[in-house]
Structure 1
Amino acid sequence: MKRIVSIAIAVVLVFGSGLYLYAKNKPLPALSPSELPDLRDREPQVSAADRYAKPAVPLEGMEGVVSNGQLSLYYDPNTMAIAVRDKEGRVWRSNPASTADDQIANASVKDQLSSQILINFSDKNGQQSYKTSYQDSVQLKQAVAEPFERGLKVTYTLGKAKSEIDALPKRISAERYQKLILDKVGKKYKRYLVQAYLNDKNKDVYERNDETLAALLLKKVIEAFQEAGYTAEDLKKDNEENSTGESDEKQVFTIPVEYTLSGDQFVARIIGSGIQYPASYPLLDIALLPYFGAAGLQEQGYMFVPDGSGSLIYLNNGKERYDSFEQPVYGDDGGTWNGENDDDPTVEPIRMPVYGIKTADSALVAIIDQGAAVASIHGEVARKRSSFNSVYASFKYISDEKASLASTSQSGSQTKVIPVFQQRPVYSDFSVRYAFLPEDKASYAGMAEYYRNYLLSNGLLNKKKDSEDDLPFYLELVGGIPKRKSLLGVPYKAIVPLTTFDQARTIIAELKERGITSQKVRLSGWFNGGYSHKAADGVKVDGVLGGASGFKEFIDYTRQQGVDLYPDVSFTHLYATDGKYTEAKAVSRYINHEAAWVWERTDWAQPLSPRLLPSIVDGFLNAYKRFGAAGISVRNIGNQLEGDYRNGAVVDRVQSEEIDKRQLEKIGGQLPDMMADGGNAYILKYAKDIVEAPMSNNGDNIADEAVPFYQIVLHGYVGYAGAPVNLARIADVQSYVLKSLEYGSSLYFKWIYADNSEVRNTDFQYLYSVHYKTWMNKAVEAYRTVSAVLGDVQNKPIVAHEKLADNVYRTTYEGGKTITVNYNDYEVDVGGTSVSANDFLVGGNGR
């Protein structure tokens, strides 16, 4: 019998190997470079109601450019500084007016304070430098302003574009130098020429001595060459014949910026197609208007940054000893690597590309409109480098990494680390929209309201249907997980059922019996090999859970019970790279050519090349439609965003976001009930529910308060919940309940039917406390508390949030209902009413 089994296994292995080799060598359907989206030269949307004219009210020291009836734009032709007067008469400036008198800033920082653009670039050896629009363009008279109907275009040429010394060859052969120059004017200009050209290194070639060529010497040498009849053709010939192979390119960069008015918004846009840089000096980053709206030492207020749920950095907070705030929008790019495993699972990424600054009675909110996927948001407090507090955006234009080159010689093995650069720049424009809020909206809640309205007016967010049901209870049920086993010494992976479809029914039914009737169930690990499933280009329901028929029956059951079901799918990450989707063909590449890896909260995965995503989604949707389901949970799209930097087929991160959006449009067209994980801004148009939403900030030293900006934007429009209660970092259930009440959040649990011991010796040991019976009573009790308080406002927006005292916060909803939360371990008095320790108080119209 054993012999028969062994023969059968051998046959299967041989046959399987044949199939594997066939699949391995078959090309995958992928977007070609010409099919990738090019997001350059996309003019920002403008208000159709705008009527443009010259500003009626002058601004001292500046020229009026244009007014649209709400805003007026001005500029200083001597400095290229920009100013905007809003409809309330307040003036917002691109640069502080008093930089020359700054007692804290050194000369370099003062130059930055006077600039509208800062660029960071590298040479081929990885040595980075920066240039500023003021010193390296404006002062060199190389910034050109061109007014047009809606605004002003300023083209900055940074770096000395042309020098008198360029009229002289860098190198010239000794023969030609003697014949063309020395024989003709050598005696007359000998004292100058002997200093200007040297042939110490090579007697056959004279090399220009740039260190001494200046002022009178330069003038006289140019005069000598001109008198000798040296022509432009001679110059070209000598430079070409005597090139050393080293770059002779100048560090000269061109950055065109367009300033326009659109309704109540001032828009600053870097025109991507107009950016120029020398090949020998890759342009890495561009900071846009780094001091627009900057606040001085006497100002009171805060900067808002979208760190997690949101953070406030108080103006002049005395934290200049700490690092300034800097975070990439949508988190780190998993397609790039800086040499360290920096995917910290505890860091909440920026989900919304928006920031702002508030002073006494005014505020501005800035929305990154184009290029958000490669943007970073910065915040710096006064006294760090200058007398000003500033918050702004920068854009990654070309990414860089390190690559290791190994070599072997007689002296042994050596490793050399060299810089490598993204093969081509990002194909996008980069723009920020600034809006100026009136005094009664000058708060982070006002900023959130403005951003919400911006999303709504641009079709990027939809109002959910008002529900009369109870507050949703979010539940994830984990179906199957892979576990390593062996048969006759042959290792294989088996799917261990943690929650079968029938067992999922049992859990749902028990929740309903306990009074939780409004359930939104996320079902993970149900197809293609469990939680870490194979590529989702098709659907094979896992048999150990009940197979295709059991899945179909479960869908019908949830529909009958009024339970919203969201089967979970990972479209953009691969957990196994064998067979059809090999690492070589399917996985995104780092810039250093290695296959990329990305951290998924609990384990590593490999990002699928965005070029392959459309075919994956098409395959899934075609296979999935036979089940008649209306819901889906997208695990990674809208949560993590990666580029692919393989040579000849680069997909930059902005293109990757656009590809994701197009696939979300396709998915949403077939499956209108979509649940998202994490909730980056570009998925808000499609998602009805978000889990793992950020519920705090990252606790950066420079930050002073965490605020529910993310929740204020979404409440009443998209349902949301934070991390699973039973796996969250919050210490206890009561603390989680209080945070949910303050942030207007539903509860979310992650459960299995099987005993917790089933996850031992697997990659899922983080599921250490997920057996449903362990949590049923606590979940029901917590849900009853939260639902009783939030149920009647689940469809209403949050209109205010404020800190009343240390660890005491109040949230106000449309209609007047308030919820005050006391996180202290002692009782506090709020307006004459006591709030017990670690408790809450419902007030306003919700009493």
Structure 2
Amino acid sequence: MVNKKTLTKSIMFIIIASLVFFIFTKDDDSENDESQYGNGSATTQQKSNTSKEELTPQSMSNETEEMDNIPEVRAKQVDTTQEEIDGHKYLLENDKYEMYFKEENLSIIMRDKTTGAVMYSTVENPVESNQEWKNFMKSAVVMEYLVGTNIVTYRADMYSENPTKEVVYKNDGFVAKVTYPGLEISYQLEVTLTDSGIVVEIPQDKIVENSDKFKVSGFYVYPFLGYSKLDNRDGYMFIPDGSGALIYLEDNDGKYKQPYSEMVYGNNPGVDESYVLSLFHRMNPFNETEKILAPVFGMVQTDTQMGYLGIIEEGQYSAKIEAYPNGAILPYNWITSKFIYRQVYNQPTSKDSGTMVVRQKSKNDFNIKVRYQFVSKDEADYVGLAQVYRDYLLETDQIVEQEDQFKARVDLFGADVENGLIFKKDVPMTTFAQASSIYGDLQENGVDQILSIYKGWQNGGYYAGLPIQSFDPESSLDDEMELKELLNESKERNIDLFLYHDALRINMEELGNTRYKVMKKFNKRTYEEGVYGKAYQYLNYLNPESTVEILKEVEDTYKNNGTENVMISGISNKLFSYSERSKEFDRIATKERYESIISEYDQNFNLMLEQPFSYLWKYSNAIIDLPTQSSDYIFTDEDIPFIALTLKGIVPMYAEYINFQANQVEFFLKMVEQGLNPSFYITNEDPADLLNTNSSDIYSSKYERYKKMIQDYYGKLKQVNEVTEDSVIEDYVRTNGVTKVSYSNGATIYVNYQENDVIVDGQTIKALSYKVVQD
């Protein structure tokens, strides 16, 4: 007879052994179990929408954590024309470049005929990784797709999902139709060789979806063009973050786990979930990251003096720029544009709680078109990329060349409100008479050329007076002088005085009922912008139709009251998708409405736009609030003034406010280096009066404190401008804390950021100073 204790132990042993066997075989079984939707794996729109990264390392195999350090053996230069390079057959050429093509995966190799340098678009022999990533690295195009209402995004490349390819060759390139029979999806890739590089397109009308279950989510187009492995190449990736930044092609020893991944022209509040990390005394203590102001990116391989600037010509309003330094999933450096046709989002199912994930009804309305402008020899650096972009903007009439006028920007803050015992209380900071006195004092002390933007001039002040519906000045500012008088006086004094108009925001707490519509997100919920102030916690965005309606109404009242100069904010650097009744409108629809009314204002007024996106640059008399640095992500190695290098000498540029810079000496040197005009934010009264308003972030602005600084900066920067006026930057070299900027008229500016004097080119530049040398 079996002992009861022995039987119990035996049963327990069997249970534990079975449990251990189940745990250790579960993962293997799940990896070997093919998806019912094919071999495409989930990439990231993971089960949590809080992650910024779409291709999460967590969703990939851990095999890549042990990176293969064997150098990649691919020719960096090929001296003569070949019949074939790495399995790519010679296809065609022009005066500058040869294109080699591999039909299997639509891969291309570009060869510079002058230098022999070659650039690859796919990885021939990927390092050990899971099969999905191997296919990704070997593919010219990767399509992402959604399955029903599943929140997971799947991928189909040149190898997975059994694609068929039909290639038609042209005199200047090729056209390839790619079909996924199992998904009932097809698209057309068009590649054209140009005098300066290649143009890659996927026309929207060639994207065919014959299934209700499978829908296109997005595309990567030649994501590995110009890639490198670890530190096998010298050079860098250029990302358009703020002023611009570089990511070096060096071995990162696996320390970076996340890539750079940002929407061109900022995030999309109509779909993306907004959040604040934490509040401090009911206020947001965090600054926003810098936006992408222009749809460009680049790769430069300095060891062979070959690189490219990628310019997104179509689809930029629904595109991301993604840059992966080695270690972020793979041991490769690669940069690309990603195009988004559909997203999933959380749809509330009740007023109080409960949500369900739904798929965007129709795909966003755009073609994909990316122009790759190649650079070589001495032009193969970020200065060369900026010059390429400048020429492109001028040739395509996307910017209007203007006189490079130097002015001091002295913006004034009018009024705000604070909470009273029962009602809101006006807090006037700079009356119209005080504004006149400030302008007069500046001009008497040598600051004769002034550009000024008057903020918070309207009835209710800066926050309570939103939206601005007419020319109706705030009465508490109307002491000894009316606004109309100030406008006329400023014109006589040759002061460019602009009235600030936020065309995006509406304060529903003040308006209550209104005939204007507010913006609703795709999930039909009203969007609320958290401002977390002392008087108001939230503002709303106007529906684009309402924005246009208001601006048309205000236009006549501006004209009737002698207003010639208008500065528009809000819609100049914000784009979003939105819903109206049962319809969904993408960011392109918003852009078209904004651009139409901005174009009209440009014809009828002297127009300024606040830190405008590049598609609006041609409408603004100047570029203001130009960022002088990037967001300082951990994986960036160097900030560069890409936008300043592009626009200096073409259009006047104004820096962000000097008042709020932590290191004003360094910031001044950056203005000298980048050719920026100075900007100050001024009040007549002490900013301590704003403590209980929504404008409490204006903590240093009193005119008496800054009058001497304005005069000093104006005098020094004006002298620099007189030497560089209407000249573009031809070269920019930064070495050991000293920058040398060379202009097209022969002028050279040396800027020394070190705390000791230095000698460069025989010139002595004092510590924390600069020197201008004329040819």
Normalized against structure 1, the TM-score is what?
0.75
* Aligned partner (choices 755, 765, 774) of residue 835 of structure 1: 765
Whether the aligned pair in 2 keeps the contact of 1:828 and 1:837 (CA below 8 Å) is yes
Whether the aligned pair in 2 keeps the contact of 1:521 and 1:565 (CA below 8 Å) is yes
* Aligned partner (choices 155, 160, 163) of residue 177 of structure 2: 155
The 1-side partners of 2:607 and 2:372 are apart by: 31
Amino acid at match of 1:326: S
* Aligned partner (choices 589, 614, 635) of residue 681 of structure 1: 614
Range with greater deviation from structure 2 (267-276 or 747-756): 267-276
* Aligned partner (choices 116, 128, 141) of residue 140 of structure 2: 116
The percent of aligned pairs where both chains have the same amino acid is 22
- Identify if the C-alpha distance between structure 1 residues 126 and 836 changes in structure 2 by more than 3 Å, giving closer, same or farther: farther
**Structure 2 equivalent of residue 535 of structure 1:** 467
1:791 aligns with 2:733: no
Q: Secondary structure of 2:655's partner?
A: coil
Root mean square deviation, CA, Å: 2.9
The 1-side partners of 2:150 and 2:755 are apart by: 53
* Aligned partner (choices 658, 678, 683) of residue 725 of structure 1: 658
The 1-side partners of 2:226 and 2:762 are apart by: 39
- Identify if the C-alpha distance between structure 1 residues 709 and 581 changes in structure 2 by more than 3 Å, giving closer, same or farther: farther
Whether the aligned pair in 1 keeps the contact of 2:751 and 2:770 (CA below 8 Å) is yes
Residue 646 of structure 1: how far off its partner (Å): 4.2
1:374 aligns with 2:318: yes
The 2-side partners of 1:578 and 1:461 are apart by: 39
- Identify if the C-alpha distance between structure 1 residues 675 and 354 changes in structure 2 by more than 3 Å, giving closer, same or farther: same
**Structure 1 equivalent of residue 552 of structure 2:** 618
Whether the aligned pair in 2 keeps the contact of 1:258 and 1:270 (CA below 8 Å) is yes
- Identify if the C-alpha distance between structure 1 residues 382 and 429 changes in structure 2 by more than 3 Å, giving closer, same or farther: same
Whether the aligned pair in 2 keeps the contact of 1:345 and 1:599 (CA below 8 Å) is no
1:301 aligns with 2:223: no
State how 1:798-817 maps to structure 2 within 5 Å: 798-805=729-736, 807-817=737-747
The 1-side partners of 2:532 and 2:196 are apart by: 40
Q: Secondary structure of 2:630's partner?
A: coil
Residue 590 of structure 1: how far off its partner (Å): 1.9
The 2-side partners of 1:751 and 1:124 are apart by: 55
Range with greater deviation from structure 2 (81-90 or 351-360): 81-90
State how 1:432-581 maps to structure 2 within 5 Å: 432-467=370-405, 471-485=406-420, 491-532=422-463, 533-546=465-478, 550-576=482-508
Partner deviation per Cα, 1:729-762 (whole Å, 9 max, x = no partner): x323222211211222111000111232331321
Q: Which runs of 5+ in 2 are unaligned?
A: 1-80, 278-283
- Identify if the C-alpha distance between structure 1 residues 701 and 757 changes in structure 2 by more than 3 Å, giving closer, same or farther: closer
**Structure 2 equivalent of residue 5 of structure 1:** none
1:311 aligns with 2:245: yes
Q: Secondary structure of 2:602's partner?
A: helix
The 1-side partners of 2:419 and 2:441 are apart by: 33
Q: Secondary structure of 2:649's partner?
A: coil
- Identify if the C-alpha distance between structure 1 residues 742 and 466 changes in structure 2 by more than 3 Å, giving closer, same or farther: closer
State how 1:303-342 maps to structure 2 within 5 Å: 303-318=237-252, 320-322=254-256, 323-338=258-273, 340-341=275-276
Whether the aligned pair in 2 keeps the contact of 1:460 and 1:682 (CA below 8 Å) is yes
1:396 aligns with 2:331: no
The 2-side partners of 1:512 and 1:104 are apart by: 68
Q: Secondary structure of 2:710's partner?
A: helix
Partner deviation per Cα, 1:796-833 (whole Å, 9 max, x = no partner): 2122222211x332222222322222323344443454
Partner deviation per Cα, 1:747-780 (whole Å, 9 max, x = no partner): 1000111232331321111122111112112222
Partner deviation per Cα, 1:663-700 (whole Å, 9 max, x = no partner): 221110101x2222123111210112222211101111
- Identify if the C-alpha distance between structure 1 residues 839 and 339 changes in structure 2 by more than 3 Å, giving closer, same or farther: closer
* Aligned partner (choices 560, 567, 572) of residue 633 of structure 1: 567
- Identify if the C-alpha distance between structure 1 residues 599 and 797 changes in structure 2 by more than 3 Å, giving closer, same or farther: farther
The 2-side partners of 1:569 and 1:319 are apart by: 49
Amino acid at match of 1:288: V
Amino acid at match of 1:759: L
Partner deviation per Cα, 1:288-322 (whole Å, 9 max, x = no partner): 11011223442111111111100011112416421
Partner deviation per Cα, 1:25-76 (whole Å, 9 max, x = no partner): xxxxxxxxxxxxxxxxxxxxxxxxxxxxxxx985554456665655555532
**Structure 1 equivalent of residue 529 of structure 2:** 598
**Structure 2 equivalent of residue 745 of structure 1:** 676
**Structure 2 equivalent of residue 349 of structure 1:** 291
Partner deviation per Cα, 1:399-423 (whole Å, 9 max, x = no partner): 322244469xxxxx9x544213333
Residue 494 of structure 1: how far off its partner (Å): 4.7
Residue 567 of structure 1: how far off its partner (Å): 0.9
Matched residue pairs, number? 678
* Aligned partner (choices 198, 204, 219) of residue 272 of structure 1: 204
Residue 147 of structure 1: how far off its partner (Å): 3.3
Residue 478 of structure 1: how far off its partner (Å): 1.2
The 2-side partners of 1:755 and 1:381 are apart by: 47
Range with greater deviation from structure 2 (360-369 or 76-85): 76-85
**Structure 1 equivalent of residue 696 of structure 2:** 765
Residue 93 of structure 1: how far off its partner (Å): 5.3
Normalized against structure 2, the TM-score is what?
0.81
Whether the aligned pair in 2 keeps the contact of 1:118 and 1:130 (CA below 8 Å) is no
Whether the aligned pair in 2 keeps the contact of 1:345 and 1:600 (CA below 8 Å) is no
Residue 356 of structure 1: how far off its partner (Å): 0.8
Whether the aligned pair in 2 keeps the contact of 1:124 and 1:419 (CA below 8 Å) is no
The 2-side partners of 1:125 and 1:621 are apart by: 45
- Identify if the C-alpha distance between structure 1 residues 401 and 547 changes in structure 2 by more than 3 Å, giving closer, same or farther: farther
Amino acid at match of 2:552: D
The 1-side partners of 2:392 and 2:253 are apart by: 33
Q: Secondary structure of 1:586's partner?
A: coil
Whether the aligned pair in 1 keeps the contact of 2:163 and 2:179 (CA below 8 Å) is no
The 2-side partners of 1:306 and 1:752 are apart by: 34
- Runs ≥4 in structure 1, deviation > 6 angstroms? 600-603
1:421 aligns with 2:421: no
The 2-side partners of 1:697 and 1:311 are apart by: 6
The 1-side partners of 2:115 and 2:718 are apart by: 46
Amino acid at match of 2:413: V
The 1-side partners of 2:538 and 2:624 are apart by: 20
Residue 662 of structure 1: how far off its partner (Å): 1.7
Partner deviation per Cα, 1:105-159 (whole Å, 9 max, x = no partner): 443322111112223334455441332321225xx2512223356532222224x
Whether the aligned pair in 2 keeps the contact of 1:319 and 1:381 (CA below 8 Å) is no
- Identify if the C-alpha distance between structure 1 residues 275 and 142 changes in structure 2 by more than 3 Å, giving closer, same or farther: same
Residue 702 of structure 1: how far off its partner (Å): 1.1
Residue 573 of structure 1: how far off its partner (Å): 2.1
* Aligned partner (choices 795, 819, 823) of residue 749 of structure 2: 819
Whether the aligned pair in 2 keeps the contact of 1:120 and 1:128 (CA below 8 Å) is no
- Identify if the C-alpha distance between structure 1 residues 151 and 734 changes in structure 2 by more than 3 Å, giving closer, same or farther: same
The 1-side partners of 2:276 and 2:308 are apart by: 36
Amino acid at match of 1:99: E
Q: Secondary structure of 1:725's partner?
A: coil
The 1-side partners of 2:704 and 2:341 are apart by: 52
Residue 377 of structure 1: how far off its partner (Å): 0.7
- Identify if the C-alpha distance between structure 1 residues 345 and 834 changes in structure 2 by more than 3 Å, giving closer, same or farther: same
Q: Which runs of 5+ in 1 are unaligned?
A: 1-55, 163-250, 408-412
Rg comparison, structure with higher value: 1
Whether the aligned pair in 1 keeps the contact of 2:530 and 2:538 (CA below 8 Å) is yes
1:283 aligns with 2:216: yes
The 2-side partners of 1:87 and 1:601 are apart by: 58
